[in-house]
Structure formats: structure tokens, C-alpha cells
């Protein structure tokens, strides 16, 4: 667990961008996000496979995303993977602002060769993550496979949304995780999109998200 995080967030509801710096004794992270981007990614977490997945998320989600992290990788990959996910969730939450006008829901499948993944997302403010990734390897590069669901859970909690990610089939763990992040990208892109029918209001029977 991280201790004493110093977090500074700035967001504009008009531009749907956010910049966050977060420092703990375990990691120092800086991130910027534009929800209405073109898929430009500059990711350097120190964990190559995590960079690969966040780049896929940005490219296929049409997010402009910059993340740099200096973490205690001499311990292991846990703090870096967790804290990068926390910051990414905070960026999404900050960039969404009051969440007025967003489609809110997204659901998408993505294949990668033999693997097929599905993500269903609800950008309500209830942080819940259910995922079943069917991973069998111990690591993908320098990312422990046990940290992949942990990244998704940390992302959903700090981003304050409900996230279901399931790998439906596949035999290659690299493909399974990459399909999962691509389906997340496609679902997130749908959910954050501004729905013209909702401008000035929110997609909720409660009247608030």
C-alpha cells in the first residue's frame, strides 16, 4: 500500500483534460489526459508490458495520455503498477468533471488473434471491478500476471466506475491481456463520449452521477 500520497489535480470540464502529480515513498508519477484526444500516447512506467497496455488503451480509446513513473522496481512491480493505475483513474475522474452529458455506458469486445475479451463499463460513481482474465503465466515481461486484475481494480476504484472485464477465450496470455485492454479502450471511448441528447443533464434516473 502507498502512504502519504501528495496528489494535485486540475481539470477543466470544457476541455475534458486533467494533469496529476502524485508522490509517495514508493512512486513518483506524473500524468496528463485528454479524453477527446487522437490516441497520442507517451507512456514510461518502467514496466515495459504495462507501457504496452496503456499505449493500447490510449490508441484504441482515442485518448491523449502521458504517464511517467519512477517507482521502487527494486522491490517488485506491485507499487508501480498499482500507483500508475490509481493515477490513471484519478485522471479519468478529474477529466470527466461532473460527468454531465456523457453516454455513461460502454460495452465492447476485442479480439487479438485466438483471444477474445469483453469489457462492460458504467461511469457511475460506484467503484466496482469484476474481472476474469484466465491467466496462467506468472509474468508478462516485468509485469506479474497477478497485478493485471489489480491494475484494473485500482483503475475502477480511483476512477469511480463499475468495470467488468472478461477474457472469453484464448491460449496466449500476452494476447489475453492485450485483448482485455483493447476492449477496455473501446468501451471507455463509448462511455466517455458526449451524447448530444444529454447535454446539460446526466444519464441517471437519480438525476446525478
DSSP-assigned letter for residue 102: B
Measure the CA–CA gap between 126 and 99, rounded to whole angstroms.
Answer: 13
- Distance of closest approach, residue 55 Cβ to Mn ion, in angstroms: 10
Q: Which residue has the cell 479519468?
A: 92
* 93 versus 178: smaller Cβ distance to Mn ion: 178
Select the residue whose beta carbon is closest to Mn ion and give its number: 178
* 82 versus 178: smaller Cβ distance to Mn ion: 178
Q: Is 77 in the site for Mn ion (CB under 5 A)?
A: no
Q: Is 48 exposed, middle or buried (0-12, 13-18, 19+ CB in 10 A)?
A: middle
* 5 versus 48: smaller Cβ distance to Mn ion: 48
- Distance of closest approach, residue 115 Cβ to Mn ion, in angstroms: 11
- Distance of closest approach, residue 174 Cβ to Mn ion, in angstroms: 6
CB 147 within 8 A of CB 80: no
Beta bridge partners of 118: 109, 166
* 122 versus 178: smaller Cβ distance to Mn ion: 178
Phi/psi of residue 5, each to 5°? -70, 135
Taking alpha carbons only, the member of 181, 78, 165, 84 closest to residue 129 is 165
- Distance of closest approach, residue 58 Cβ to Mn ion, in angstroms: 14
- The three-class DSSP label of residue 157 is helix
Measure the CA–CA gap between 33 and 23, rounded to whole angstroms.
Answer: 18
**How do beta strands 143-144 and 105-112 pair?**
unpaired
CB 160 within 8 A of CB 33: no
- Distance of closest approach, residue 177 Cβ to Mn ion, in angstroms: 9
The site for Mn ion, by CB under 5 A, has a size of 1
- Distance of closest approach, residue 112 Cβ to Mn ion, in angstroms: 7
Measure the CA–CA gap between 107 and 83, rounded to whole angstroms.
Answer: 26
* 161 versus 181: smaller Cβ distance to Mn ion: 181
Which position among 47, 178, 182, 184 is part of the footprint of Mn ion (CB under 5 A)? Answer: 178
* 29 versus 54: smaller Cβ distance to Mn ion: 54
Interface map 137-176 toward Mn ion (x if CB under 5 A):
----------------------------------------
Residues forming contacts to Mn ion in the complex (CB under 5 A) are: 178
Amino acid at each position: 500500500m502507498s502512504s502519504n500520497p501528495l496528489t494535485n489535480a486540475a481539470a477543466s470540464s470544457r476541455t475534458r483534460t486533467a494533469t496529476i502529480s502524485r508522490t509517495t515513498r514508493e512512486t513518483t508519477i506524473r500524468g496528463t489526459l485528454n479524453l477527446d484526444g487522437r490516441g497520442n500516447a507517451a507512456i514510461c512506467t518502467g514496466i515495459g508490458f504495462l507501457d504496452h497496455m496503456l499505449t493500447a488503451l490510449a490508441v484504441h480509446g482515442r485518448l491523449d495520455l502521458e504517464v511517467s513513473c519512477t517507482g521502487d522496481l527494486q522491490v517488485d512491480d506491485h507499487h508501480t503498477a498499482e500507483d500508475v493505475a490509481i493515477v490513471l483513474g484519478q485522471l479519468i475522474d478529474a477529466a470527466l468533471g461532473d460527468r454531465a452529458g456523457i453516454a455513461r455506458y460502454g460495452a465492447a469486445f476485442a479480439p487479438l488473434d485466438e483471444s477474445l475479451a469483453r469489457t462492460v463499463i458504467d461511469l457511475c460513481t460506484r467503484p466496482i471491478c469484476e474481472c476474469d482474465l484466465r491467466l496462467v503465466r506468472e509474468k508478462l515481461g516485468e509485469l506479474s500476471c497477478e497485478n493485471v486484475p489489480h491494475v484494473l481494480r485500482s483503475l475502477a476504484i480511483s476512477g469511480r466506475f463499475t468495470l467488468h472485464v472478461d477474457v472469453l477465450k484464448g491460449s496466449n496470455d500476452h494476447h489475453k491481456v492485450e485483448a482485455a485492454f483493447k476492449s477496455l479502450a473501446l468501451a471507455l471511448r463509448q462511455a466517455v463520449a458526449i451524447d448530444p441528447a444529454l447535454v446539460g443533464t446526466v444519464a441517471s434516473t437519480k438525476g446525478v452521477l
